[in-house]
Every structure is written in structure tokens, then in C-alpha cells.
Structure 1
Amino acid sequence: MGGNELEYIHNAFDSNWISQYGSNIDEFEKNLENYLGNNSFVTALSSGTAAIHLALRLLNVEECDFVICQSFTFVASANPILYLKAVPVFVDSESQTWNLCPNALEDAIKYCIQQGKKPKAIIAVSLYGMPFMAEEILQISKKYEIPIVEDSAEALGSQYKGQPCGTFGDLSVISFNGNKIITTGGGGILISRNPHFKSRAFILATQAKDKAEFYSHSELGYNYRMDNIAAGIGRGQMETLDEKIKQKRKNHDFYQELVKNSENIELFSAPNNDFFSNYWLNTVILKNELSKEKLREIFTQNDIETRYLWKPMHLQPLYKKCKFFGNNLSGTLFDTGLCLPSGTNLTNDYISRISEVLENEIH
């Protein structure tokens, strides 16, 4: 926290709008539409997962349809495919951004077409805040006429060639879970390119009520709308977003300077100036005799939390029977990677403690 969150929450109480309607929701959506630009239409929802689910509904994904999904991601990217009883097809990462590999993506599309069914959607993730290879992926999307669901859950404030993440997909998603760069306590948004999708998303997110004087329902809807209190938190958080991005990137600069001459630790960084990452999480790949288990244990002994990278979907028990295309680079990253402390509240004292631990393992 740190902005005017309480002021907006009090406004919700004073107006007696504390449910899924109210001015905070409207204003929060406008804040985000102005921030993202690029003809963005925002629908505030209860989670990023709900946003992916609605995106697939809006693209008419149905039972037995193929949906291609990046394997190296959190499970919330993939689970909505199963909600709709569709068939996930997982694609490996490329080495520069750790996101969707264009070559493996095209292989997966060709496989699906050979099975007699073109994929209904491609879920492309901007992992850990790093933009995916937008030009290459969008070119493939256009070539095969398959829409992109852009999962920028972790990438608010990131950009590719000056264009904000969240504005590349036919439909895009950003999360405001408690661990994201800004939070609403829980929540997310669905970003569309036209007002029709926004109005349809609102209907589906509010139980798909028909226009009638009584409760009438002609299609399946969900209780997915963000509430007015959560949106008030979001309005306050938006006021500090730019500062939080600066702090996240400052954290990255700290790690970059610390490990720049290391033979054992490689910091994951943007491949070139086309990619502007918010560095939501700072991650490292460990080499030689230094393992992720060993370094994590050293940090734990010093009361410093670290976490493993996401375990790829094609290695998850839930998805072990699904098709996977690629060379298992994502599996190698999982085997050798670690997430380091990256909060916007890292003080000089915390940084000194982290430095002391890492400096002993750098060479």
C-alpha cells in the first residue's frame, strides 16, 4: 500500500456501494484504459484466471477444441482451457525471453491442422514481466488466422518497442493478485480491442442476466465481476505504479551489478532495448556446481525467501498426457533457476543481507 487506497475504500462505504457496482470500478477501468492506450477496453474482474476464462469464452472455445498455451507459466494460464473441456497443446520457450518459441508454436499449429482442427486460440505469456516476441508471434497468428490471448498477468508496465504489454492480444489479461506489481487484494482485468467484447465480458461476468424485469438467464454466466472496494484499492495503487516499476527495475540493477562477473550465476535480463521489462521477479540461472537447491538452502538459513521457477505445464501431473512441442528448454530452466527477493519494499538493510549471501557464491 502507499497511495490513497483508504480514501477510495471510504468512498465506497460512504456511497453504500460495496458490491460489484460503483464508481470505483468505473474509474479504475478508465485509469487502466488511459494508461494502456492503444484502443483498450477494460473489464475489471475477480481474478486474472477469470479473465483468461472469459477470453476463451468470447473466442467461442468449446469442448474438444485445441488451444495452444505456453508451457512455462503458472497453472492459471492453462486451467481455463480445461474449464471449457477444450484440449491444451503446450509449446516450449525460446532462450531470449523464456516465452513462446515461434518455431515450436508453428509446429504445434501444423500438428493441430493435421488432426483436422485449427486451434481456436494461442495463449502467449509475458513471463516474470518480460514481453514475449510480439512481432514473431503476431505474424504467426495472422498467417494462420488464430487469435492471441495475451497473458500479461505479471507484466503491467512492461513494453515491447514502446507498446505496453496488455495491448498486443486480440484479448489480453493482467492480474492484480496480492503478489503482483500493483494489487486489488485479488482481481484482474480483461482487455479487448473493441467495446463489443467489453460489453459481452460484463454480461458473462455478472451471471449473464437477460434484459428483463425478472431474473432470466439464456446462457451460462459467472460471478466474476470485481467489487467496488477492491477497485478502490486499485485506484490508489495506480497512483504509485510508476514508482513501483522504477523500484522493481532498481532491484534488477542491483542484482545485475552484483553478479556481472559471476561464473556460477546468470541473471535473466532483457535481450535488447526492444524489450522493457518491469522485472516483476528477478530470476537467475545457476551453473557449474551451484544448484538451485543448494542456493535456496543457503538463503533459507539466512532467513531470506526464494522460490523455484514455475514448473512447466507439460511436466505437471495434471497435464502429463497433453501434447508438447519444443526441446524442453523450459524444463532445463526449471531445473536450474531460482527467483530472488524482488519486492518494492527492499530496504538497504535487506539488500545488504542478500549481498552477503550471494557474494560468497558468485565465483
Structure 2
Amino acid sequence: MFDRLFLSAPHMGGTELGLVQDVFASNWIAPTGPMVTAFEQELAALTDVTHVAALSSGTAALHLALRLSGIVPGDEVWGATMTFIGGVAPILYAGATPVFLDVDPDDFLIDLDLLEAELRQAHARGAKPKVVITTDLYGHVVDGARMARLREEYGFVWISDTAEAVGAYRDGRHAGKGADFVILSFNGNKIITTSGGGALASDDAEAIERARFLSTQARDPAPHYEHTTYGYNYRLSNVCAAIGVGQLHVLAERVQQRRRIHTWYREALAAIPGLDFSPEATGMQANRWLTTVRIDPAVAKFDNEQTRLALEAENIESRPLWKPMHLQPVFAGAPRRGGKAAELAFEQGLCLPSGSAMTQDDVQRVIDVIRRLAA
């Protein structure tokens, strides 16, 4: 049996251990320190978003963004139905109401035509959302220029969930650029990792300073513990930040390899009827965090679950696309808008192994299994 081939395993670059050893040598193990500062500065340079707070997770970053946006119980927060639970659960933390919108059938990003139509109707009845969350799914990047125009016209706060799109660009701008708040994630399966971690970025200096305050238990300046509001234990540790600094040094290489892996899959499987890969929109450079494929069983004569099981039999991990949030029991009864593009993508879609440490021979293992199914 071959070694286990994981969907997206961590991939160290070589300098991370030395940086962590520097942290240990300095005994600066506490939640803040010079590596946290360096990581924040390098993230700001990468994204071209001026201010960054390094945090314990992308979910924590979204929770803080919603609080800083003034969300209170009863407010509506709109977002794409196809996403990871961490990209919407903080809406419930805030006591707000999630409204789920359908996605584009090609790249699974929020359907901006649908969003614009729904905003127009909501404006007419005086019920606009306070916040709209866009999700840069699987490393594809939403049309930021159009989102900025919609924000200007309808007056919502735009939060860009860029957890899956670090190192991705559209029209020459890093994913999330132009949003009021940008959510980043460095979970163990992301394109770069800090083991567990995330960040909140914004061009609003006061908002990020407030985020740092709230993420360290909202402790007021005093020789004792003084609190005029409540906060959270959301700050990234100096140790994890050291890993992140090292990972940023190899980010461009990781993106290049994931895009190369995507090309290998696409070229090798292009002739199989019923298999479709997500295209890149004009001006986009997706990071291809995960290569996704849609399998139409009526044409291919096999489906995504048969493919997943066949891969698993060869010790290869794959995974269905994100199950739409409006189909999740926890969100039963939540408002939803649009058609069934997300539902169909979930029914037919599969994420293929895409880790940047994979070799062409590793990719060929996956290709061979799919080709046998199609034979």
C-alpha cells in the first residue's frame, strides 16, 4: 500500500524551525512578541492592507470583524451559502440573522448578479443588510471592484473572507483588497500555516487597534485587571507567528506548485466526458488551494462518491465540496436567496489532493484511479 496521500498537508519551507528556536532562545513564548509584529508587518506588505492583527484563527477574525462592524442581535448578515462553517458561525455568536445567497456555478463565489438584485429589492423595502461577507472559495477571488461599487451604492460593511485565498490575486490586487475587513486563515490545511492561526486586516488603523484590545481580553490600562467591556482570548502566540514568518518566505513557491498541480489534473483528465474544472475569471490568479472537479454522473457514468471511495481504497484522501449552509441542520429555516447552483455543486463536486509537497507521481496516482473509473 502506498503512503497516505492527504488532501492538503502542511508543507514546511526549512526556515521555520530556526525562527521557532530563536523564540525559545529569547524566552518570548507569551502571546505577543517580536515575531507577532514581524508577521503582521509582512502580511500587510503581502496584502497591501495597511493594518493587521494576528489572531488564533480565521473564525476569531470574523467574530471580531462583525463586532467592529456594530452587528447586534436582529441584524442581517448576508453571505454565500457555499462556505465552511467557521465563515458563518460567528454570525450566530453575535445573535444576528444569516441570509444565504447562491453562488456562481463555475467558481462557487457569491453570485454578484443575485446579490445586486437582492440589495436593490431590500433597499426598496428599507431592509438592507448591515454586513455582506464574500468568500474567496478554494482560492478564487471575488470581483473586488464590483463589490466596492455595491458597497458605495447600498452602504453595507464589506467583510472579505479570504481564508482560502492567501497569495491569490485579481486585477493585480491581493484577495480582499478594498474590503472594510479582510479575514485570513493559517490553519494546518491552508496554503501556508501557523499550525492554527488567522489574522484580521483593514485599512482602518483604529479598528485594528481595537481588535488587538478585544483579542487580549479587553484589558484597560491599569496596574490591575480593569475591564470596561468584555473581550476574547484570540491573540496569536509568538511561537506560532514565527512559523508564519517562515511560511511567508515560501508562499509564492507554494502558490506556483498548487497551480502546477491543478494544470496536471486538468490536462490529464480533460478528455473524460462529464468532468469539469473551475475556470479562472479574467484578471484572476487563483492560488488553487484545492483543485475541485465536478462530475456529471449522467455523462461520466460514475459520480463523486464513487470517485471518493475509489481514491480512499488507494489510501488517497479526497472530500466533497462544502455542503451549502442552508442545508446544514444548524441553519434550518435561515433565509436563502437564489437558485440551486450551490446544491448541484455539492452533489457533483469533489476536492482532489492538492498539497504543495505533492510530486507529479503523486498526482498521477490520483489520475490513474479516475481514469480507471472512466474506462
- Check whether TM > 0.5: yes
2:43 to 29, 32, 35: 32
> In the alignment, is residue 51 of structure 1 matched against residue 66 of structure 2?
no
In structure 2, the residue matched to 1:173 is 183
The whole-number CA distance in structure 2 between the counterparts of 1:260 and 1:362 is: 12
In structure 2, the residue matched to 1:323 is 335
The whole-number CA distance in structure 2 between the counterparts of 1:317 and 1:57 is: 25
1:354 to 366, 370, 373: 366
User: In structure 2, what residue type is equivalent to 1:85?
Assistant: G
Provide the aligned C-alpha RMSD in A: 1.5
Q: Is the contact between residue 76 and residue 96 of structure 2 (CA under 8 Å) also seen in structure 1?
A: yes
Q: Is the contact between residue 167 and residue 191 of structure 1 (CA under 8 Å) also seen in structure 2?
A: no
Matches within 5 A, 1:130-279: 130-272=140-282, 274-279=283-288
In structure 2, the residue matched to 1:3 is 14
* Identity fraction in percent: 38
* 1:7 positional shift: 1.4
In structure 2, the residue matched to 1:301 is 313
Higher relative contact order structure (alpha carbons within 8 Å, sequence separation ≥ 6)? 2
Question: Displaced runs of 4+ in structure 1, greater than 4 A?
Answer: 110-116
* 1:115 positional shift: 6.4
More divergent stretch after superposition (234-243 vs 103-112): 103-112
Q: Is the contact between residue 264 and residue 362 of structure 1 (CA under 8 Å) also seen in structure 2?
A: no
More divergent stretch after superposition (289-298 vs 157-166): 289-298
> In the alignment, is residue 94 of structure 1 matched against residue 70 of structure 2?
no
The whole-number CA distance in structure 1 between the counterparts of 2:265 and 2:360 is: 13
Q: Which runs of 5+ in 1 are unaligned?
A: none
The whole-number CA distance in structure 2 between the counterparts of 1:193 and 1:348 is: 41
Over 3 Å counting, the alpha-carbon distance change for 1:239 and 1:328 in structure 2 is: same
> In the alignment, is residue 311 of structure 1 matched against residue 323 of structure 2?
yes
Deviations 1:27-80 (A, max 9, x none): 11111111222x421110000000000001111101111111111100111100
Q: TM-score, normalised by structure 1?
A: 0.96
Q: Is the contact between residue 22 and residue 228 of structure 1 (CA under 8 Å) also seen in structure 2?
A: yes
Aligned residue pairs, count: 361
The whole-number CA distance in structure 2 between the counterparts of 1:285 and 1:233 is: 35
* SS of structure 2 residue aligned to 1:55: helix
2:74 to 64, 73, 88: 64
Q: Which runs of 5+ in 2 are unaligned?
A: 1-11
Q: TM-score, normalised by structure 2?
A: 0.93
Over 3 Å counting, the alpha-carbon distance change for 1:115 and 1:217 in structure 2 is: farther
More divergent stretch after superposition (14-23 vs 152-161): 14-23
Q: Is the contact between residue 157 and residue 278 of structure 1 (CA under 8 Å) also seen in structure 2?
A: yes
* 1:271 positional shift: 3.0
User: In structure 1, what residue type is equivalent to 2:289?
Assistant: W
1:124 to 106, 111, 134: 134
